[in-house]
Structure 1
């Protein structure tokens, strides 16, 4: 008895190449991720240097229109990149140093807060042994140690800064040669080159928008904290700027420390005021102004953005949280946009229907 063309066996034979491709692709991706995690200390600064170079590329285009020599244009770009990194690093050092000096001042208040929390738990009927376990786990003396570890972490970033500056030097001076190579490859490999150009444009838009709006939010938050009398306003403003690059949960990370300091310094009323100010500023920036000005700058769904944050933080550490969106854009460019056979996945990644299919469905109706 022979099998019919539409039998289950024929369907299996047709699906087998796709299944094998998916299997080998998953294996290759797993190996790549494992290797990336192993050399995260190298990949993180290199990719950060690449993102900085891409983000500052409009300045290079403007300088080229002034007919400066190529070496002079690259030198100016290098100086701008170095100044940007130095200013951000200095701001982080000052902020972490202020945290190290600020937090120990509230050790007594934190002790009182822990005791009050224990009394509240006791009134709710929690067993005394459980209360003591919770209270003992909260050691106010660890706050100073935490601040010291944060300062040490910043000094570790400075150590990597030498490597970052070196990588930036080569990337900036190789930019023109890289553009010429991509132009020469565009005729032979149009889709991969277009995918890389799309990655560069999306990354540039994302970093530019987040920098402008993050800086504006940081300034407003800092001024508001100064008016409210919350200690360390500069520290929390810097934190608000840095966390603006963390998708989805950046606002929550940025508001918790100043809210806790406000609670210890001025009580629940001041803490509520800080939360209200941060929420209002974040809502106006991210929900009202930013979408109207720039719209969707990256083409990633909310779910994909959040999962990318978790994934890249796990792969390359805290720097992965700041670079989660650019890293996901590069992955999308290499694995999806570069091959027409995988373009069907783009609407799933963006969370929006394909405009062409949407138009066709309207005509069909």
Structure 2
């Protein structure tokens, strides 16, 4: 058979290699089966999120108990080494944690109740302090009128306190949710060893059993270390805030310190909320604005040092989380489950990263770099 020169050029010198057909159709970038699979995964994610949102009264206490129980399991194992039955250890640990939480709530609620009884008086004092902003607002109105703006700013007014009761109802779980959480937490800690053994033995392949065991051990270790270290750091922040409030003459320094330690469990949002609380308390408590802003300024320096130097040094790179990932997780879980979701955002992110490391390791095939 005679080979034409054009066919010889198209074959690039390789004998027996047919020339490519110019009319052949290229494969699609995304095949129909892949598109269907992506759509089904998207619908599954939407269904899961909807179920978690609608059944919050069930899933939130259960998830909270699982996460907190995993954090407290090392303490139960420690007591078990000293011949304390695991069921008894679970009850003792939950009782100790409940007593500490009750003590902190008592420190916070005492000044909160006192201040709530003086809301009209405090609101009037705060409104009087805000008159310092009347001149800047007037200058802004003049500038707006000069550039042709038609809208005028209303006088500075404080919001009404009708939000207090809905906020308390939003922050406080129902008795049924609290009872479900406590019961699940005790049972989870008491039976965690059997649950872990059952999860490992559920797989028939030896490699998957070892991988599951490593995942569970790493989750338990990381969450336990996270709770211990973050608790110690937050106690330090609370003590530091209390000392700042005591030195600067702020009222109820112990309650403000306990509130700072509690809010610091919520990344980003907690310190910002505490700063706002200190600003409001300082403006109401002192005769001048400059004196009222001393404690918030010192607290801002304390939280800056804690967030950028102390926490990364103590927790280390292994538990260090990306700031953007923390913010997105915090926004999602806060929207989904409120304040308790904000508390669970970082532990759930740690669990997700551990699963990602073991199920999609670094040496797995991935796309080539551009």
Of 238-247 and 151-160, more deviation after overlay is shown by 151-160
Report how far residue 299 of structure 1 moved. Answer: 4.6
If each structure's helix is expressed as a fraction of its own residues, which one has the higher value?
1
C-alpha distance 63-148 of structure 1, shift in aligned 2 (>3 A)? same
Unaligned 5+ segments in structure 1 are 347-365
Partner of 2:324: 303
Partner of 2:290: 269
Distance 1:326 1:174 in 2: 21
For the pair 1:213 / 2:233, whether they are aligned, the reply is yes
What's the CA shift string for 1:231-274, capped at 9, x where partnerless?
Answer: 24333222211221222333212111111221232222123312
Report how far residue 200 of structure 1 moved. Answer: 2.9
Partner of 1:242: 262
C-alpha distance 206-341 of structure 1, shift in aligned 2 (>3 A)? closer
What's the CA shift string for 1:199-252, capped at 9, x where partnerless?
Answer: 333322222221110111011101211221122433322221122122233321
* 3-state SS of paired residue (1:317): helix
Distance 2:249 2:264 in 1: 23
Partner of 2:5: none
C-alpha distance 341-287 of structure 1, shift in aligned 2 (>3 A)? closer
Unaligned 5+ segments in structure 2 are 1-17
* 3-state SS of paired residue (1:328): helix
What's the CA shift string for 1:44-91, capped at 9, x where partnerless?
Answer: 222222222222222112112112334333333343343344334444
Distance 2:338 2:116 in 1: 23
Kept after mapping to 2: 8 A contact 1:259/1:271: yes
Kept after mapping to 2: 8 A contact 1:92/1:154: no
> How many corresponding residue pairs?
339
Distance 1:315 1:198 in 2: 27
For the pair 1:323 / 2:344, whether they are aligned, the reply is yes
Report how far residue 318 of structure 1 moved. Answer: 1.9
Distance 1:27 1:120 in 2: 51
Report how far residue 303 of structure 1 moved. Answer: 0.7
Kept after mapping to 2: 8 A contact 1:226/1:233: yes
For the pair 1:28 / 2:72, whether they are aligned, the reply is no
Kept after mapping to 2: 8 A contact 1:74/1:172: yes
Report how far residue 341 of structure 1 moved. Answer: 7.4
Distance 1:345 1:222 in 2: 52
Runs of 4+ in 1 over 6 A off after TM superposition: 1-4, 341-346
Distance 2:270 2:292 in 1: 19
Report how far residue 279 of structure 1 moved. Answer: 2.0
Distance 1:273 1:181 in 2: 56
Q: TM-score, normalised by structure 1?
A: 0.79
For the pair 1:228 / 2:248, whether they are aligned, the reply is yes
For the pair 1:312 / 2:328, whether they are aligned, the reply is no
Larger Rg: 2
For the pair 1:280 / 2:284, whether they are aligned, the reply is no
Q: TM-score, normalised by structure 2?
A: 0.78
Equivalences for residues 152-231 of structure 1 within 5 A: 152-153=169-170, 156=173, 160-185=177-202, 187=206, 188-231=208-251
Partner of 2:152: 130
Distance 2:363 2:249 in 1: 53
Of 30-39 and 113-122, more deviation after overlay is shown by 113-122
Distance 2:118 2:254 in 1: 12
CA RMSD of aligned residues (A): 3.5
Distance 2:118 2:252 in 1: 7
Distance 1:97 1:158 in 2: 21
Report how far residue 331 of structure 1 moved. Answer: 3.8
Kept after mapping to 2: 8 A contact 1:218/1:237: yes
Instruction: Select the residue among 234, 238, 254 that pairs with 2:274.
Output: 254
C-alpha distance 85-107 of structure 1, shift in aligned 2 (>3 A)? closer
Distance 2:174 2:296 in 1: 30
Distance 2:197 2:170 in 1: 39
* 3-state SS of paired residue (1:135): coil
Kept after mapping to 2: 8 A contact 1:308/1:325: yes
